[in-house]
Structure 1
Amino acid sequence: MYAPERHQEILRLAREAGRVDVLSLADRFQVTAETVRRDLTALDRSGLLRRVHGGAIPAGRADLDLEPDLTEREATAAEEKDRIAAAALAELPDGGSVVLDAGSTVARLAAGIPADVALTVVTHALPVAARLADHTGIDLHLVGGRVRHRTRAAVDAWALRAYAEIRADVLFLATNGFSADGGLTTPDLAEAAVKRAAIGAARRVVLLADSVKAGQEHFARFGSFADVDLLITDTGLAPAQQAAIEAAGTEVVLV
């Protein structure tokens, strides 16, 4: 099947189902996930589809209604997220303090922290806190606030005040979408505000994001690569995207 034929079929599937995802399309057409991402990017640029986390939706549908829940996030790019989380362990400070953002890859990092590690950890993410609650070497601080059901993350004024009062060594940050031009974005304004506050609460920012999110833009922008010291992502990141991010001053590690 040639690319124009794939594009027509992708459009048909998106209009019928309301959404298409990269992995299912790759399996259906027997092509690589990177080929599907290029197809979706081309359709997005043409105004026929809109890229969202893990796939695309017909143009005109609201991004806010399609924010993936925890189950969907955990299942998307699972192997890539495992590799990213494993590589991020090397960025943990020796006996220092970290902020762990709300995100499935960050939660994997939390689950992988060795038993003999001593850290002060601050998080507004309930799944992250649950993974670390029994870790005897970790001094765990749970930030409060209104908890969003989709992400199990605390948001609003309580969370913002808490992050204004600390200065951690490292923030491990999550995002729904990223690009050198569009920066870091997420569907929800309240979550974006907390992420922005967390960036301001850390001396060093490490972004953990799989390449599926590259080139995606969501409703709420909370930062740029000028705010990020290190991006750990997978080898699916296009060389041109990597070069643009590095040009912005961010180190990029592919795993």
Structure 2
Amino acid sequence: MYAEERRQLICDALDRDGRVTVAELAERYDVVTETIRRDLDTLESSGLLTRVHGGAIAKRTADPEPDLPTRLSTNTAAKKRIALAASRFLPSGPLKSVLLDAGSTTLELVGYLSGRNLQVVTNAVGIAQAALMVTTDRLDLLPGRLRHSTHAAVGVDTVQALSRLHPDVAFIGCNGMSAAGFTTPDVDEAATKTAMVTQAGRRIVLADSSKAGLVQLVTFAELGEIDVLVTDSGLSDSYTQLFEDNGIEVVRA
């Protein structure tokens, strides 16, 4: 096999899995590890991947994090289908609680809260406002520093408040999902999402298929820490298999 052929296969594996290791590539292509390291260095210099210890991850998106109005107008049909599919995971009953992370897809879920008699907790100003319009249930807005791009409360105060809560179900958004886990570009937002994952009884990620293969700066949850992924029908079979192999129930709406 020529070097260019091998490097194209490495890029294909990164597109599919989000992460590769030197050891597994050396075994797969029957070459020494030093050859793979040179391949990865060459691909990184071409801007096609990011080198990490022991391997490489898919090139992080260079685009700035879109603001909330932009995200609200992107992939809207898919997000509505995802919210409908996710609504079956909403608990019911006066002693049941649900935690809604900030995000344009989780915002679509708010319309399904009506009549469920839930205790609702969120770190998102927009979600709190929308929930007030559709439900008379108990509603708690978490404290913290508000991020301009997401309208979400994040940071030390938010994490501390979450540490005292034990919601039955958390619905969480993400900016990227791959073999590197579920990722987001902001450190404080990642810490807040990690606290949600830690404290919730059941962890459900809502993300459209455009997030597959993207690796953002910070991993807030490993694949094995998420119970359910609700996405759209555009998610590839290879990514579906990756997530299911890590114990995630995948719902493609």
TM-score (normalizing by structure 2) = 0.75
Larger Rg: 2
1:39-76: CA deviation from partner (whole Å, max 9, x where unpaired):
x959x99555679xxxxxxx99984x701101221122
Which runs of structure 1 show a deviation greater than 3 angstroms over 4 or more consecutive aligned residues?
44-51, 59-63, 134-137
| Contact residue 117 and residue 137 of structure 1 kept, 8 A | no
Which of 206, 209, 222 is the aligned partner of 1:208? Answer: 206
Q: Structure 1 residues 50, 66: closer, same or farther in 2, change over 3 A? A: farther
> Percent identity among equivalent residues?
41
Map of 2:238 onto structure 1? 240
Structure 2 residue runs of 5 or longer lacking an equivalent are: 1-11, 19-39, 50-57
Tell me the number of residue pairs that the alignment of Structure 1 and Structure 2 aligns: 206
Work out whether residues 87 and 109 of structure 2, in 8 Å CA contact, stay in contact via their aligned partners in 1: yes
Distance in 2, Cα, partners of 1:254 & 1:62: 24
SS in 2 for 1:215: coil
SS in 2 for 1:66: coil
Q: Counterpart in 2 of 1:35? A: none
Give the Å deviation of 1:222.
0.6
Cross-structure match for 1:77: 75
Q: Which residue of 2 aligns with 1:224?
A: 222
Q: 1:164 to 1:72 in 2, by over 3 A?
A: same
TM-score, structure 1 normalization: 0.75
* Preserved CA contact (<8 Å) 2:60 2:215: no
Does structure 1 residue 190 correspond to structure 2 residue 188?
A: yes
Unaligned runs of 5+ in 1: 1-37, 52-58
**What's the secondary structure of 2:219's corresponding residue?**
strand
User: Does structure 1 retain, via aligned residues, the 8 Å contact 2:59–2:215?
Assistant: no
**Secondary structure at 1:168 match in 2:** coil
RMSD, aligned α-carbons: 2.5
> Structure 2 counterpart of 1:127, which letter?
G
CA distance in 2 between counterparts of 1:92 and 1:126 reads 20
Are residues 62 and 175 of structure 1, via their aligned partners in 2, closer, same or farther at CA, if it must alter by over 3 Å? closer
In structure 1, what is the Cα distance between the partners aligned to 2:206 and 2:135?
25
